[in-house]
Amino acid sequence: MRKAQKGDIVRFHFTGCLENGNRFATTVGEDPMELTIGEGKLIRCFETSLVGMTEGEQRTVHIPPEDAMGARQPELVSELPLHMIPEQDEDLKVGSSIQIKDEKGREVKATVTHLSDQAVTIDSNHPLAGETLVFDINLIEFV
């Protein structure tokens, strides 16, 4: 029976959850994803998890933070005066996603984690930083 290896093009379904069971992504109920293993379109550990799978095989993999989105970095959390937030974000609330410019003028995505009348706390860590990711993978077919 054929086993997937680097360079193979495969179709698969996956569901991604945190260790607490909260789902953050799935292709189930949609068209399967197609990928060339080793091409680098997904996190490396996910792609290498496909290696050795056969058509129809299902597998659950746990990817620790250091192999996924990295550890949370406290220096990426900051408090800014409310007047520094762009005008288009006037309906700001905790959980809002905003774009700001860093000290080098680059656009950075951030999430509002705290809000007061005068200041806003933002977190520009990736939302999955510091999390172990759990993927249920179903290799459907080789292309």
Measured CA distances, 15 to 24, 33, 110, 138 (Å): 8, 11, 25, 9
Is 1 a member of any domain? no
Checking if the pLDDT of 88 tops 70, the result is no
The pLDDT score that the predictor gives to residue 87 is 61
pLDDT per residue as tens digits for the range 7-38: 999 999 999 999 999 999 999 999 999 999 99
Confidence of residue 2 (pLDDT cuts 50, 70, 90): very high
Q: What is the number of domains present in the chain?
A: 2
Q: Enumerate long-range contacts of 98-102, CB under 8 Å, 24 or more apart.
A: 98/122, 100/124
Query: Three-state SS across 19-66?
Result: CCCCEEEECCCCCCEEEECCCCCCCHHHHHHHCCCCCCCEEEEEECHH
97 with 79, same domain: the answer is yes
The mean per-residue pLDDT over the stretch 71-93 comes to: 83
pTM: 0.82
Give me the pLDDT at residue 39, please: 93
Which domain does 107 fall in, by range?
74-123
Q: CATH number of the domain at 60, please.
A: 3.10.50.40
